[in-house]
Structure 1
Amino acid sequence: MEERLRDENLVRKTSNADGDEEATILLNTILSASVDKEKAQEGLSKLSSGIIVLKVYQELNGKVRDAVISLIDQEREGEQIDRALLKNVLDIFIEIGMGQMDYYENDFEAEMLKDTAAYYSRKASNWILEDSCPDYMLKAEECVKWEKDRVSHYLHSSSEPKLLEKVQHELLSVYANQLLEKEHSGCHALLRDDKVVDLSRMFRLFSKIPRGLDPVSSIFKQADKKDIVGLQEQALKEAFEVFCNKGVAGSSSAELLATFCDNILKKGGSEKLSDEAIEETLEKVVKLLAYISGGQFTSKMEGMVRKVTDWTSARKIQTSFEEYLSNNPNANPGIDLTVTVSKTDIWPRYKSFDLNLPAEMVKCVEVFGKFYQTKTKHRKLTWIYSLGTCNLIGKFEPKTLELIVTTCQASALLLFNSSDRLSYSEIMTQLNLTDDDVVRLLRSLSCAKYRILNKEPNTKSISPTDYFEFNSKFTDNKSRIKIPLPPVDEKKKVIEDVDKDRRYAIDASIVRIMKSRKVLGHQQLVMECVEQLGRMFKPDFKAIKKRIEDLITRDYLERDKDNPNLFRYLA
């Protein structure tokens, strides 16, 4: 830290070196971002003339160059430096030459390239002994990326090809054979184990250096043909994954498939598919999801698809329940009841709430519960009222209608069998629902197409001060109507669910990486996390940073006391 501050101070004090007062003013003028171009050019013209160049530039350029190079090396080690300051100072080397690159190339760039070669030579000599081939290539790729980043922030663009040539030579050309022939992790091992991601990185890196692919092609020629065929198949699979994960009109493939499945399951799709056709369609969707999310995320989905259309188990339970009722007349619930029992290990956890059922429905739940206990004593039934439907007979003055409603809607309507008028708060209390659920429920019954309830005041919104009455004069051309609940923002919900799943995936990736590495720098952890998750989705760097911070607070990781950019895994 002290060395970095010393180097930065030297760079900052370039304009305060011994020499003419005019030189100091001129250098300050050049470094000032607010000065206009004409004044800068006027100052540079004076600075380029004889005495001032000798007294200021020739005396200080070597010290400043060394300080800048030292700061670059410190940044390579993960320290934070003032990039804007470096850019301002390096611009002097160019402006001194009145736009010509001689001063920049001879007095700065040449030494910087020598230092770069020496720096990466030291790094490579250690990494080649310590790291596996995939780990070494990951570090090499990261180094190339960060050198490009330096060029974009403060080095001149003409330095990029020269800089990358030094990096690639020291990291790849010098150790090519040793790296590719590593016994348990080299090119042979990667081919044998179908490591497509690592082999792709190998191609990207070695294709950038002269004749870099020669040793790679030589190893491929010696490889087992079965390995090559397997690699081609894997490559095609991953290429298809990339295609499947491309967004369409602002929506991801996962969102579009979720909407498609929702439509199929609710309505049978636009073609009103049969159960067999739905099953076949959903099986195809699961295969696509494996490319989008990865197989580990679709195992439960496969089980769900099988459950969606194969109701054999549920139908057996229902048939058995009907036999139970016929053999036990005293157990008759008084209502035709159909129950579908599903396992929670496959289906997602639906919102469950303690709805206060009307007396008619309470008896149904009790009767089925007693029946189910005769089948098993080790399973607990959880009633998901949000998935239930009821057929009610509504006796209106014009005519009697059959109403197809949800369990919650039915519970609300049945309250009016014993009450002529109910307030919003009374309905909420008697049903034991939240404000959001009550508002959605009452809007469907009093403000939508079918106004089964009259609302006071007669507005289009639901308020806690509203009162409701049964609309005895309601009628409709049909004798059987379905009253839907207002739709929730499905797209928003899907996005929230996807974000939640991705947070879990990022957490798992970070923990896996740190568990194997024990100690790792911030940049490398982020890069490896992106690499691991890249086949499923493209994680946001900010999201990874947030998950790292969260894992630190949960004592999975800790920061190194001396270097905050270094993380340690806590077992």
Structure 2
Amino acid sequence: MNCIVWFSSETMNDRKTIDLEQGWEFMQKGITKLKNILEGLPEPQFSSEDYMMLYTTIFNMCTQKPPHDYSQQLYDKYRESFEEYITTMILPSLRGKHDEFLLRELVKRWANHKVMVRWLSSFFHYLERYFIARRSLPALHEVGLTCFRDLVDKLIGICAIFQVYHELNAKVRDAVISLIDQEREGEQIDRALLKNVLDIFVEIGMGQMDHYENDFEANMLKDTAAYYSRKASNWILEDSCPDYMQKAKDCLKREKERVSHYLHLSSESKLLEKVQNELLSVYTNQLLEKEHSGCHALLRDDKVQDMSRMLFSKIPKGLDPVANIFKQHVTSEGMALVKQAEDAASNKKAKKKDVRMQEQVFVRKVIELHDKYLAYVNDCFMNHTLFHKALKEAFEVFCNKGVAGSTSAELLATFCDNILKKGGSEKLSNEAIEETLEKVVKLLAYISDKDLFAEFYRKKLSRRLLFDKSANDDHERSILTKLKQQCGGQFTSKMEGMVTDLTLARENQINFEEYLSNNPNSNPGIDLTVTVLTTGFWPSYKSFDLNLPAEMVQCVEVFREFYQSKTKHRKLTWIYSLGTCNISGKFEPKTMELIVTTYQASTLLLFNASHRISYQEIVSQLNLSDDDVVRLLHSLSCAKYKILNKEPNTKSITHTDHFSFNEKFTDKMRRIKIPLPSVDEKKVIEDVDKDRRYAIDASIVRIMKSRKVLGQQQLVMECVEQLGRMFKPDFKAIKKRIEDLITRDYLERDKDNPNLFRYLA
């Protein structure tokens, strides 16, 4: 309030002295008038002259020469005025009322009290400007509000008032809490009234929340806990888990709204914590384990919406038991798929083709299972990291189980091969293929033996590329990009090199054909396609000095001349085991085109010079091992297409057998492909084991080179950590490699401590 003060023309020395009793008698008349106005009694309003007279009286009494400067006495009487007003008028008016009537009277009296503080602070304003400032005393406004709050503390010894104050405080608090409970039961209450009452608790704290927290909030929270404890004890018996959760959700929502309507904002977290504790924390286990509606049942019955209502994220570590149940459930479903696939594979009547099909179905079902529960994690569990971890740990359990003797790494690689090769059983659109490959790569994250997958995949990729079985080059590059993002550049470097080799090989073939057209004398006489590969990128293949037929020898020489004309720094090694030939077979019924391997072609061409040949002669003329010759002759005489007759006519090949050309062979097709059984896939595992030994050696040396001295346990753990991204190394294998490195003088064992190793530079 801005005040303008007029002074009389007489000097302060000439001014008549006002004694304390006389001056205070005049001030009391003004204060009594103010009280009457506040009480609604007939009284004229203060005029400007009235206000100036009251202000000037205080001014004069404070500016008189000692001992007539009554500043301290007026400051004390200012306080006493409020205490007298509260004692004689406010407290008696409140004592006779209860419940909502008490609250309404309290709000009215608080509003009047604030008006009185404002007016009296204006009358005594000169004290504020000089006396209070010099003495560092509480401001007038603060004194007025404090009186309302701390009357008991300031009037020591008045026992009756002490009892009145605490009685009123308890009555007000209980009345507010009673209205809150009524609202919780669905009754309509005056929210504005509650807000006004609770604002009093906040305002009389003058910036501090102690009064609100101690005189109201503590009891309100205690009552809230008791209220919801009673409710929860009934709901847990009556309701299913989803229904209970819905009620809990509604309660939390209403309590939050309650804060926004009339409780102080600082109460929100404490209030919700009480509700969550009574409704959720206390009954967590009972809710999760309810027989027909608990977490197990909801997951089993795919109750997605009900699962999304699980509110355990609101309580400390409340999601831990839910995530554990989720992990157990997913693990159980995954293991059921493994058992189902194992049972199908163990069926003695099942054909090998059917077993392979079941393995593909198994991978497809695992992908579908992952889709299903990843959706749970994203939608029901709000993408929470705890559930991503649970999903990962669950899939790691059953994704690393073998099926029918095949590792999960091999099954996944075979599944990819079936999608990417021509004529695969998976008939999918381009979009579906991309989506499926993305999901396969996600599954690979759960496979511990990623290096084994890489080797199986590389083997199958090589066959797709070399035998033109890849359905789409874009898909081949796409999955390599996905694998690179998942496992790193080193994981796919060889595979990318294979794809690049095929591109370069096509260009090389075009150049070869141009070379033949420009050099007629070098023409081999038959169509020849050569694929030149980089040794380091491709899987290792057997390379024998096969005695080629004369026609093929000419082809090899022509290509060698062409290649040496381009570069003299590379050596060509011919891998005949990967070659294919289209040869013409003249049978009595009809002439047929036979698609065979280079080995098979070399064998069949022997019969152009001789009608009947012994097993030993074939071995000698081809210069192949017994195992390879047995496979060759079996495919030509004992399998589906019997191009050769065998004597004796049995299904096994022996060293005493004789073979002749089957001139009477026929088939409804004019063009047939004669398959050659592939070598056992165990070689892949052997190759991977060899690579792992090198990887472990490199890791140990790398660690020891940087650490110089290290204990065995720490060395093993660091090695496991380094290699864990590609495969899960066996502790025994690591220790074996350490011993090997010691014998090769890379490391030495400490003389005093055998479990301590030193790096030898």
Find the counterpart in structure 1 of residue 571 from structure 2.
380
Residues 551-560 or 243-252, more deviating: 243-252
Letter of the 1:279 partner, please give it. Answer: D
Pick one of 376, 400, 419 that aligns with 1:247: 400
Higher relative contact order (CA 8 A, sep 6+): 1
- Following superposition, the deviation at residue 258 of structure 1 comes to 2.9
Measure the CA separation in 2 of the matches of 1:304 and 1:240: 32
* SS of match in other structure, 1:454: strand
- Following superposition, the deviation at residue 452 of structure 1 comes to 0.9
Letter of the 1:368 partner, please give it. Answer: F
Letter of the 1:254 partner, please give it. Answer: A
- Following superposition, the deviation at residue 451 of structure 1 comes to 1.0
Measure the CA separation in 2 of the matches of 1:462 and 1:280: 44
* SS of match in other structure, 2:636: helix
Pick one of 476, 479, 484 that aligns with 1:285: 479
Letter of the 1:365 partner, please give it. Answer: V
Please show how residues 80-479 of structure 1 align to structure 2 within 5 Å.
246-247=399-400, 249-250=402-403, 252=407, 254-263=409-418, 267=422, 269-271=424-426, 278-290=472-484, 294-308=488-502, 311=503, 313-479=504-670
Aligned residues: 335
Measure the CA separation in 1 of the matches of 2:470 and 2:630: 38
CA contact (8 A) 2:421 2:470 kept: no
- Following superposition, the deviation at residue 449 of structure 1 comes to 0.5
CA RMSD of aligned residues (A): 3.2
Letter of the 1:549 partner, please give it. Answer: E
* SS of match in other structure, 1:391: strand
Deviations 1:340-391 (A, max 9, x none): 2233343333322211100000001111111222222222222211111000
Q: Specify every segment of 5 or more residues in structure 1 that has no aligned partner in the other structure, as ranges.
A: 1-231
For the pair shown, the structure with the greater C-alpha radius of gyration is 2
1:509 aligns with 2:699: yes
Measure the CA separation in 2 of the matches of 1:362 and 1:345: 26
- Following superposition, the deviation at residue 396 of structure 1 comes to 1.1
Find the counterpart in structure 1 of residue 738 from structure 2.
548
Q: Specify every segment of 5 or more residues in structure 2 that has no aligned partner in the other structure, as ranges.
A: 1-383, 431-468
* SS of match in other structure, 2:556: helix
- Following superposition, the deviation at residue 247 of structure 1 comes to 2.3
Distance 1:306 1:324, change over 3 A: closer
Find the counterpart in structure 2 of residue 522 from structure 1.
712
Residues 285-294 or 518-527, more deviating: 285-294
Distance 1:518 1:300, change over 3 A: same
* SS of match in other structure, 2:582: strand
Measure the CA separation in 2 of the matches of 1:298 and 1:244: 22
* SS of match in other structure, 1:398: coil
Measure the CA separation in 1 of the matches of 2:394 and 2:568: 48
Distance 1:303 1:562, change over 3 A: same
1:487 aligns with 2:708: no
Measure the CA separation in 1 of the matches of 2:703 and 2:395: 27
Residues 246-255 or 505-514, more deviating: 246-255
CA contact (8 A) 2:741 2:747 kept: yes
* SS of match in other structure, 1:532: helix
- Following superposition, the deviation at residue 520 of structure 1 comes to 1.9
Deviations 1:167-188 (A, max 9, x none): xxxxxxxxxxxxxxxxxxxxxx
Structure 1 length-normalised TM: 0.53
Measure the CA separation in 1 of the matches of 2:482 and 2:741: 32
Measure the CA separation in 2 of the matches of 1:272 and 1:332: 42
* SS of match in other structure, 1:298: helix
Distance 1:285 1:543, change over 3 A: farther
CA contact (8 A) 2:420 2:471 kept: no
Deviations 1:422-449 (A, max 9, x none): 2222211211111221111111111111
CA contact (8 A) 1:255 1:495 kept: no
Find the counterpart in structure 2 of residue 534 from structure 1.
724
Deviations 1:76-112 (A, max 9, x none): xxxxxxxxxxxxxxxxxxxxxxxxxxxxxxxxxxxxx
CA contact (8 A) 1:254 1:289 kept: no
Deviations 1:433-479 (A, max 9, x none): 11221111111111111111111222111122222111111111111
* SS of match in other structure, 1:472: coil
Letter of the 2:652 partner, please give it. Answer: S
Deviations 1:182-204 (A, max 9, x none): xxxxxxxxxxxxxxxxxxxxxxx
Find the counterpart in structure 1 of residue 221 from structure 2.
none
- Following superposition, the deviation at residue 564 of structure 1 comes to 2.6
CA contact (8 A) 2:515 2:562 kept: yes
- Following superposition, the deviation at residue 410 of structure 1 comes to 0.3
Letter of the 1:269 partner, please give it. Answer: G
CA contact (8 A) 1:514 1:520 kept: yes
Measure the CA separation in 1 of the matches of 2:420 and 2:470: 12
- Following superposition, the deviation at residue 297 of structure 1 comes to 2.8
Letter of the 1:456 partner, please give it. Answer: E
